[in-house]
Amino acid sequence: MAIYAFTSAAGSPGVTTTVLGLALQWPGEVLLVDADPVGGSAILAGFFAGRVGHPGTLIELWTAYRQGDLTTALREKPLRLSETASFIPGPAGAAQAGGLTDLWSALAAELRGLSTLGVDVLIDLGRLGHLHHATPLAMGADEVVVVMRSDLVSVAAATAAHVPAESPVKVLLVGPGRPYSARSVGQVVKRPVAVTLPWAPDEAAVLSHGRPEPRRASALRRGLRQAAETLRAGVESRVEVLIDE
């Protein structure tokens, strides 16, 4: 199993919506970690529409880490999203994120342990370049995925972005053809567009703002399922190449 870290260069292209959607469509056990330093626990306010209180999970993990018990806390503290997906809500804001800096390296090691036990891990890193960006989680990931849209603002920002990563960096394009194609975007940003997701604002709003499910809309759900398969296959084929070498 593997660790996938998602980030963006600018704007709000849909990182949080995408990782949450992927977790809900993931074919197997998955843990979603919200590590966006300024995201303000967007999933609790958005998808859960404030109905789930903030359990301060990252603070609890930090406390457990200081007490030498991070392994147990990581198994007990996450919230349930579905039968197969669980979730660690993000920092309440930048001030809280600043206090968590020494947690990230320890958490990266624990997530690696979890991935060897058959759990895939999806991480929302938020935007690149923030002072409290969880860089150790990016460095510890098997795949770093830059989420972007296909307009010039997104393309310009992604072209200039520095992505801290030891593993290959891929692009996930939300809304190809609005206006540029996946192929053109990949050529300009010089990274492969590994995955595309359809432009589906009503479906996306279910995930990002807790809106009611629109009738007969399933394009995004299908796209997310396909994206999950593609991401998994990408890491598996790399592992096979490494084993052959």
Ligand X SMILES: Nc1ncnc2c1ncn2[C@@H]1O[C@H](COP(=O)(O)OP(=O)(O)OP(=O)(O)O)[C@@H](O)[C@H]1O
State the residues that interact with Mg ion by CB under 5 A: 15-16, 39
Positions in 22-51 near ligand X (CB under 6 A): 36, 39, 42
Decide if residue 90 touches ligand X (CB under 6 A): no
Binder among 108, 123, 194, 197 for ligand X (CB under 6 A): 197
**How many residues contact ligand X, by CB under 6 A?**
22
Decide if residue 196 touches ligand X (CB under 6 A): no
Decide if residue 220 touches ligand X (CB under 6 A): yes
Binding site partner of 174, from Mg ion, ligand X, none, Cβ cut-off 5-8 A by kind: ligand X
Decide if residue 89 touches ligand X (CB under 6 A): no
DSSP per-residue letters across the chain: --EEEEEESSS--SHHHHHHHHHHH-SS-EEEEE--TTS-SHHHHTTTTT-S----HHHHHHHHHHTT-HHHHHHHSPEESSSSEEEE---SSHHHHHTTTTHHHHHHHHHHHHHHTT-EEEEEEEETT-TT--HHHHHT-SEEEEEEESSHHHHHHHHH-----SS-EEEEEESTTSSS-HHHHHHHHTS-EEEEE---HHHHHHHHH-PPPPTT--HHHHHHHHHHHHHHHHHHHHHHHHHH-
Considering the complex, state which of residue 145 and residue 235 has its C-beta at the smaller distance from ligand X.
145
Decide if residue 205 touches ligand X (CB under 6 A): yes
Q: The tokens of 227 are what?
A: 């994206």
Residue nearest to Mg ion (CB): 16
Q: The tokens of 195 are what?
A: 């995955």
> Could you give the string, one character per residue 111-150, with x where binding to ligand X holds by CB under 6 A and - elsewhere?
---------------xx-----------------------
Minimum distance, C-beta of residue 185 to ligand X, in the bound complex (Å):
15
Binding site partner of 196, from Mg ion, ligand X, none, Cβ cut-off 5-8 A by kind: none
Q: Which residues bind to ligand X, rule: CB under 6 A?
A: 8, 12-17, 36, 39, 42, 126-127, 174-175, 197, 199-201, 204-205, 208, 220
